Structure 1
């Protein structure tokens, strides 16, 4: 039996700017990369479609400005899409385009179905709350009011991402970048979300810390069975984590397939360039 996708994204478009006569027709627009030189509109995501399957890690790779982080922000409702659909294969929302939900319903999805780990921990953590407090904040947003239960969940999660017990009440602003990312991961996992988004989570970390965070992500995927979308400009990260990979350039998907297949036999000239720079 063919497995159903957990999340399906169809024809996602996101533009910044109002477009003009020379760029508003998708078939005839002439852009410099993904930018209209005539009116300044940026087409950050152009007709993005993909599926995420249960328990899978899907890698999204591309250079800076390829639209991958904007796509992630659209998925997590940090920015509104211009058009397109996203469908979660779960009874209460099945067949419904979550991009069209009210802000209240979107908040529900964010708090119960999604977890997000941002490239910059400042976007995902309150630096003047304790680590336990950061996790409790996410649990409260999902309707939990039991203080001792929240503390227990927070401690368990921080333990699972290897934050020492004696530092759990400390504020993340006192932590190293790698530790801040681990607190973000614990926070993102607090409501057992079926879907986790990871946006450039190893950028700016030392290589040894990077390796530690990547090992942790693999372990979480094994232990929790979460489906993940991992965005990176670094193919080495994608090679280590992803089952399948989508390659983006100038706001569009140019290639997709099994990660091994893309790394061993890239079809598109840009992917070939990416792969050869890794060798």
Structure 2
């Protein structure tokens, strides 16, 4: 594994609410789970730090409300982060905390360095555009102007995610959930981003469809050596995809390590419950 992380996340914080004397001080705050009963502030993400290495799949697992998706939205600039630092090992943004960049620079990162696959395809696709049009849109946003090369690239990606080309002019709203996720994956990959975020991508899909989407993700990772962060409440998904994993509870990291290690010898009581529920 390369020594230099492609993504470094340090002390990420996301709170909903102003905070009060009872909860503002990190050292002395007393919360119920991640909630201050005095002022109602929710600390959705608390002091989260981790590295993502080139070609690695990092799993982030935790129950609903653990802060994992909120954190991912913050990394992808879909939501404002309250505090912390994020660094990407890329010449365009080297040694810059990307959370502090201008909206134009963040757009550059979203177009070139990040891909995102949402739990609900409605957030990642324009349902009234054709499938090929959805992929083209991302390339045009990144400055692509050559129509024939955009179309060729879009077709290649649709074939890679097993969407029949005879259906490329169809709108994703006519597709099944699994096919919509495949189009989303193709769109996310359109500009060869080094980092791909996957947020609960198999939730709500039938088991057989889940399996085919997971197989596709594994195949893409093998072929492209892309770095991925996979967020899921389902430990079976994490076990299949992730090299290393982070377990989150109430906005904080409670355990991290090699996925196999966490599954075979979970240390934290909550992780133990997760693992035993999988057996």
Indicate whether the TM-score tops 0.5. yes
* Unmatched segments (≥5 aa) in structure 1: none
Deviations 1:146-175 (A, max 9, x none): 111111110000000000111111000000
Structure 1 residue runs of 4 or more that deviate by more than 4 Å after TM superposition:
none
Which residue is equivalent to 2:204? 204
Deviations 1:176-205 (A, max 9, x none): 000000000000000000000000000000
* Unmatched segments (≥5 aa) in structure 2: none
Which residue is equivalent to 2:134? 134
Alignment of 1:93-132 (within 5 A): 93-132=93-132
Which residue is equivalent to 1:184? 184
* Distance in structure 2 (CA, Å) of the matches to 1:90 and 1:165: 34
1:44 Cα deviation from its structure 2 partner? 0.6
* Distance in structure 2 (CA, Å) of the matches to 1:35 and 1:141: 39
Task: Give yes or no for contact 2:2–2:54 (8 Å, CA) kept in 1.
Answer: no
Which residue is equivalent to 1:225? 225
Which residue is equivalent to 1:248? 248
Which residue is equivalent to 2:159? 159
Alignment of 1:1-279 (within 5 A): 3-279=3-279
* Distance in structure 1 (CA, Å) of the matches to 2:169 and 2:35: 46
Moved more, 58-67 or 29-38: 29-38
* Distance in structure 2 (CA, Å) of the matches to 1:126 and 1:25: 43
TM-score (norm 1): 0.99
* Distance in structure 1 (CA, Å) of the matches to 2:56 and 2:207: 25
SS in 2 for 1:13: strand
SS in 1 for 2:91: coil
Task: Give yes or no for contact 2:194–2:226 (8 Å, CA) kept in 1.
Answer: yes
TM-score (norm 2): 0.99
* Distance in structure 1 (CA, Å) of the matches to 2:18 and 2:116: 29
1:92 Cα deviation from its structure 2 partner? 2.2
Task: Give yes or no for contact 2:2–2:53 (8 Å, CA) kept in 1.
Answer: no
Deviations 1:231-262 (A, max 9, x none): 00000000000000000000000000000000
* Distance in structure 1 (CA, Å) of the matches to 2:252 and 2:165: 44
RMSD: 0.8
1:2 Cα deviation from its structure 2 partner? 5.9
